[in-house]
Copies of this chain bind each other. A is one copy, B any other.
Amino acid sequence: MLIIKTIIRLRSTLDKARAKGQTIGFVPTMGSFHEGHLSLMRQAKKDNDLCVVSIYVNPTQFGPKEDFKKYPRDLRRDSSMILKENIDILFVPSDNEIYSDRYLTYIDVEKISQPLCGHFRPGHFRGVATVVAKLLNIVQPHVMYLGQKDAQQVAVLRTMIQDLNFPVKVEVVATSREQDGLAMSSRNKYLSPKDRQESVVLYKALSSAKAMVESGTSSPAKVKATIKSLIKKESSGKIQYVECVNADTLETLKRFEGRVLIALAVFFGKTRLIDNIVIPQHDSRKIKS
């Protein structure tokens, strides 16, 4: 595995690969790897000649009161953790390499950046869209791999890529979960043992919600209420949001139809966890009739 720190060296390495006709799979990350990241890398490796993984904790996607400074960074741990994955290139640029002193350009994906996490993290998806556009132009991959755990990020980036005609395919990989169902996250390590135990309620609640929708419940309000009451009953988590939206446009659903995304964010202590579940091509009218 090559560890590359500069854009110029990465480009010259990848230009040679492209000239040989090799395909490039790309996994953008903020490091602090867990099994979820590895599943993205394995898929990228399986589908392409080369797998490029980036680690960059992007300052522009953190709000002023968020955990940018304390976000876990441990390149030694991360690089040893993926040694057996046969990653070809690990790209670990410095802040200076990504944002110059005179940096001025930002990408807004309107509407789809506003609800859910976007409502509570203003500017977050602007930062995400901007850094991913940069990484796409630097790596020029054939396929980019994203995790379904960050459902809004997937929707925002898919829209940006389609709107700006980036010549890249997006593959979304299912959320990796702990044995008890908790979605893997770099932030799970912050949970107290009690919060860790209680956090299983998130996936439990989402699974119940999915079952309700699939069995014909037509009211998103009812489903949201069920999720909220289960979380309140079985944990001390503070709910930030629970929403039922169209999985592609993120527009609020008045009734269940199309590809449904049920997404939530809940604080356990100071740790904010997000999770979601997708119900493909649903039509509540068909189930009822």
Contacts and interface: CB of A to CB of B under 8 A. Distances in A.
A163 B104 contact: yes
A138 interface: yes
Q: Interface residues of A: mostly helix, strand, loop or mixed?
A: mixed
A134 interface: yes
Contacts of A166: 137
B167 A105 contact: no
Interface string A101-139: 011111111111000000000000000011001100110
A188 B133 CA distance: 38
Interface residues of A, number: 30
A165 interface: yes
Contact of A108 (B105, B162, B164): B105
Given A137-B166, A164-B134, A107 B106 contact: yes
B108 A167 contact: no
Interface string A135-162: 0011010000000000000000001101
A178 to B, nearest CB: 35
B105 A106 contact: no
A249 interface: yes
A7 interface: yes
Contacts of A187: none
A95 to B, nearest CB: 14
Contacts of A107: 105-108, 164
14 contacts: A100-B163, A102-B159, A104-B112, A104-B159, A105-B109, A105-B110, A105-B160, A107-B107, A107-B108, A130-B164, A133-B164, A137-B165, A137-B167, A138-B165
Given A106-B107, A133-B164, A137-B164, 10 more contacts: A102-B249, A103-B163, A104-B111, A105-B110, A106-B108, A106-B110, A107-B107, A108-B108, A134-B163, A137-B165
